[in-house]
Amino acid sequence: MTELNEINLRGLTAGNKRAWDQFVAAAAPLINAVVRRALAPYRLGEDDVMDAAQDVFVRLCASDFRLIKGYDPSRAGISTWLAVVARSAAIDHMRRRRQVADSIDDVPEAALAVEDRHTEKLKIPQGLLTDRQALMLRLLYDEDRDVTEVADLLKIDAQTVRSTHHKALLRLREHFKIDPT
Amino acid sequence: MSTEPIPMSDQEFWRSLAMDGGAASGSISDNDLAAWLEGRLAPAEAARVDAVLAADPVQRAAAMELSEILAMPLPAAPVRLAVRAQALVGFEAERMPASRPGFFVSLFAAGRRQAMRAAAMGTAAAILAVSGFLMGGGLGESYAQQKHITVVSSTDTSNELTDLFSDGNVI
């Protein structure tokens, strides 16, 4: 089977049926996986998941392949780009579906409730941490991700994650005058 | 009163803090997120994405989810997904030309081709029938001819009857 990055995208957007068929065969596993994962919290049936995945392909070829024509290979590989687009399309599909299906009365109260996050916390002043440091601490502590996962996400090595994390905490402790244990 | 700092684990310490209200919010385009996931954004652009992800747990979870999927081996997709998706694009001969089509091209475009073909066949058949009918003299002549044949045949019949009676053949 042809790999995704070997597909003739120019031929595909010019309407070459063979290129489209190859593209579908190569992209289907990725789109299937992304859509399933993105829609997992909604607990949909198999047919609904397939419809959402099909909708991704519909978007890709709509308006004379406008979406694929907008892909810029200098910014990202086709798999990464396709995964991002597929996830957005699946979430959008779900939103449209819910708009049609749900009225406000049908939504459980718990889903409408705004979480009360009013707790006394020390505020980190803007500029104390870099955006990357803040993101790393969020991933490590708010989401309990391990160093390897964060390194994979940020495309850096694990040692860089450890040292960035260490520097960020030192700066915070210094600012708030809190000694580490 | 003790002024000793309170010892805290890193996680407890972090959770006792809150990011300032000025934290970035907003959306990240699909193209920017894809470039960020591959580490291909310029530092300033990457910092903006970092800030949005740090501030928004939903977008952060999405980025993490995509990163995980892209790193793992993918199971095969159901066959029907590929079959249905491949059917979305027709063969080249059936595709409309990219430029604006002329009158006759759009008249016989894929969607209307069948109906137009039937209409053309019907019109041709009607023209043939009418022209053939007119060449044969039209409705008036046809009627007159039919009437003549009837009169001639009825005259012949009455003559035969007269001959029969005059010959004295009737009992």
When divided into structural domains, chain A yields a total of 2
ipTM of the complex: 0.83
Q: What is the average pLDDT value for chain B, to the nearest integer?
A: 75
Percent of chain B with pLDDT over 70: 56
Is residue A64 a part of any domain in this protein? yes
Q: Which of B46, B81, B21, B96 is nearest to A49 (CA)?
A: B81
Residue of chain B minimizing CA distance to A15: B92
Kindly state the tokens that stand for A149. Answer: 């996962």
Clarify whether residues A21 and A59 are in a common domain: yes
Cα–Cα distance between B168 and B171 in angstroms, integer? Answer: 8
Quick one: A19 and A68 in the same domain? yes
pLDDT value of residue A1: 74
- Residues of chain A with C-beta less than 8 angstroms from the C-beta of B18: 121-124
- The upper half-sphere exposure of residue A120, i.e. CA atoms within 13 Å in the direction of its Cβ, equals 0
Q: How many CB atoms lie within 10 A of CB A154?
A: 22
Same-domain check for residues A20 and A79: yes
Hey, which residues does A122 pair with through a beta bridge?
Answer: B17
The enclosing H or E element of A39 equals helix A17-39
Q: What percent of chain B has pLDDT over 90?
A: 36
- Judge whether A80 lies within some domain: yes
Its domain, for residue A158, covers 116-181
C-beta pairs of B118-121 under 8 Å, 24+ apart in sequence = none
Same domain as A132, residue A93: no
Q: Where are the domains of chain B?
A: 10-74, 139-171
Are A16 and A97 in a shared domain? yes
Q: Given a cut of 50, is residue B1 above it in pLDDT? A: no
Contact A25 B82 (CB under 8 A): yes
Rounded to an integer, the average pLDDT of B132-145 is 64
Q: Per residue in B104-117, pLDDT tens?
A: 555 555 555 666 67
Q: What mean pLDDT is predicted for residues A129-142? A: 93
Q: Is residue A167 in a domain?
A: yes
Is-contact A26 A7, C-beta < 8 A? yes
Q: Which of A74, A105, A136 is the last residue of a domain?
A: A105
| Same domain flag for A71 and A143 | no
Whether B171 has a pLDDT exceeding 50, the answer reads no
- A126 lies in some domain: yes
Q: Is residue A111 assigned to a domain? A: no
Q: What residues of chain B lie within 8 A of the CB of A87, using their CB? A: 62, 65-66
A99 occurs within a structural domain:
yes
Domain boundary at A105, A136, A152, which?
A105
Please give, rounded to a whole number of angstroms, the shortest distance from the CA of B74 to a CA of chain A: 6
Q: Provide φ and ψ at A157, rounded to 5°.
A: -85, 160
A143 in any annotated domain: yes
Q: With bands split at pLDDT 50, 70 and 90, how would you rate the model's confidence at B143?
A: low
Looking at residue A112, its pLDDT comes to 54
**Residues A99 and A145 grouped into a single domain:** no
Average of per-residue pLDDT across B146-154: 56
**Secondary structure (3-state) at B52:** helix
Domain end (from A57, A72, A105) = A105
For residues B11-34, average pLDDT:
80
CATH code, A162: 1.10.10.10
Res. A28: pLDDT tops 70: yes
Residue A133 neighbours by CB distance under 10 Å: 19
pTM of the model: 0.68
Asked if residue A68 and residue A151 are part of one domain, the reply reads no
- What pLDDT is recorded for position B2? 43
Scanning chain B, the segments in alpha helix (DSSP H) are: 10-15, 30-37, 43-55, 57-71, 79-86, 103-107, 113-135, 138-166
- What is the rounded CA–CA span in Å between residue B171 and residue B164? 11
Looking at CA atoms only, how far is residue A64 from chain B in angstroms?
Answer: 9
